[in-house]
Amino acid sequence: MRIAVLYNRDVYALKALNRLLAGLTQHRVELFHSSRVGRATQHQATALAGLAKVEQQLLQKFGARAMGEHRLGFDELGSHYSVADAPLNNINEPSGLAALQHFNPDLMVSIRFGKILKDQAIACASMGEL
C-alpha cells in the first residue's frame, strides 16, 4: 500500500512519526510536511515565531528524549526508514495536488498537518484520508 503521511514539524508529530513509521515498513510511505500552520499575520509575535523555528530546527537535527527513549529527528526518520520527505505548504493548489498525484497514495494519514485539505486533495488517495 502507498501511504502519504502529512504532518507539521512539531514535537507531537515527531513522537507520532517515530511510532507510526516503525509499523509501516512493509508499505511504501512518503512524508509531506507543512512548515507553518494557518495563515501568517502581521500580528504574530516575533518571539513566538522565533521559538517555533528553534523548536523545528532542534527536533529536525536532534530528535527528542522522553523517559529514557530516544526519538529520531525529522531528518533521521527519512533516512532511517528510507522514505522521502518533502515540504507541502500548497496542498490545495495545482502544484501541491500534482505532488500528491505523482505519489498516487492509496491512503493519506494526517498528523497535525498545518493545512485544511479540500476535496481535490482528499480525492488524491484512492482509500481516502485517516
> Which pLDDT tens digit goes with each residue over 1-44?
999 999 998 878 888 999 999 999 999 999 999 976 555 555 55
Q: Quick one: which of 72, 85, 76 has its CA closest to 18?
A: 72
Burial 67-78, CB ≥16 within 10 A → b, else e: eeeebbbbebbb
C-alpha radius of gyration, the chain, whole number: 15
| Top-level class of domain 2-38+45-122 | alpha beta
Q: What is the pLDDT of residue 57?
A: 63
Q: At what angle do helices 46-62 and 11-22 cross, to 10 degrees?
A: 30
- Amino acid at position 37, single letter: V
Cell of 36: 507553518
Task: Express each pLDDT in 89-122 by its tens digit.
Answer: 999 999 999 999 999 999 999 998 988 999 999 9
pLDDT band at 66 (very low <50, low <70, confident <90, very high): low
